Structure 1
Amino acid sequence: MYVVMNELHVPPERKAVLTERFRQSAERMAEVPGCLEFLFLSNIEETGKQIVFTKWASKQDYENWLSSPAFANAHSGKPKQEKPAASANELFAYEVAHHFCKGD
């Protein structure tokens, strides 16, 4: 398994816009081959940070998604005059060494 977390730095006034965009993304991610889980997290202590958490069957599945039309469509989206919702981001990727889930 492979996990990718994208930490987004979001001005408070853009948080609702970004949350709605990722609600729509969550629905689309259910159809992406190899995507096992998608979470959009709001930090309760640092209100300017939100995390996109994705879990993949393999690193290759994640890389396939990055080069897919679905990824391009998801990231092409907003009209040019619209202000970006996130001001910056940091990407973190991990191979899963150990895993437990009650549903497994």
Structure 2
Amino acid sequence: MSIVVINALKVPEGSGSELESRFAARKHAVDSAPGFEGFQLLRPVAGEDRYFVYTQWATREDFENWRDNRAPRDHNSSQQPVASGADLLEFEVVELAD
């Protein structure tokens, strides 16, 4: 059963374009991770001021392996973080019968 992991990022006003360009620069960085099924960056429009990083994984174990084993360079940059906070949300994808 696939799972969806959503990272809800608090981004200071006026910093959204910087966040988007950083994600664009690493758009395919996770593509080769075992079990990775997809990624989207969601920009807030109404009723929410956080960005959502939506990823889908074949299993929870695949996500946890990626999270626990990604290279330190992934977040070890000379750039200052754009987001000021993050909340992690996790869901199972419900396979609905016909």
Q: When the two structures are superposed, what TM-score results if normalisation uses the length of structure 2?
A: 0.84
- The corresponding residue for 1:86 is 83
Considering only aligned residues, what root-mean-square deviation do their CA atoms show, in Å?
A: 1.8
The gaps in structure 1 that reach 5 residues or longer are: 100-104
Matches within 5 A, 1:1-104: 1-45=2-46, 48-70=49-71, 72-77=72-77, 79=78, 82-98=79-95
Q: Aligned with 1:12: secondary structure?
A: coil
Q: Which runs of 4+ in 1 moved over 4 A?
A: none
In structure 2, stretches of 5+ residues that fail to align are none
SS at 1:86's partner residue? coil
How has the CA–CA distance of structure 1 residues 22 and 85 changed in structure 2, closer, same or farther, with 3 Å as cutoff? same
Task: Output the amino acid matched with 2:35.
Answer: G
How many equivalent pairs are there?
95
Sequence identity (%): 31
Letter in 2 for 1:75: H
Shift in CA distance, 74/93, structure 1 to aligned 2, threshold 3 Å: same
**One-letter identity of the residue aligned with 1:30:** D
- The answer to whether the 8 A contact 1:32-1:65 is kept is yes
Tell me which amino acid in the other structure corresponds to 1:58.
Answer: T
Paired residues of 1:25 and 1:74 also in contact (CA < 8 A): no
Aligned match of 1:102: none
1:28–1:38 Cα change, 3 Å: same
Give the TM-score normalised by the residue count of structure 1: 0.80
Aligned-partner Cα distance in 2 for 1:68–1:94: 21
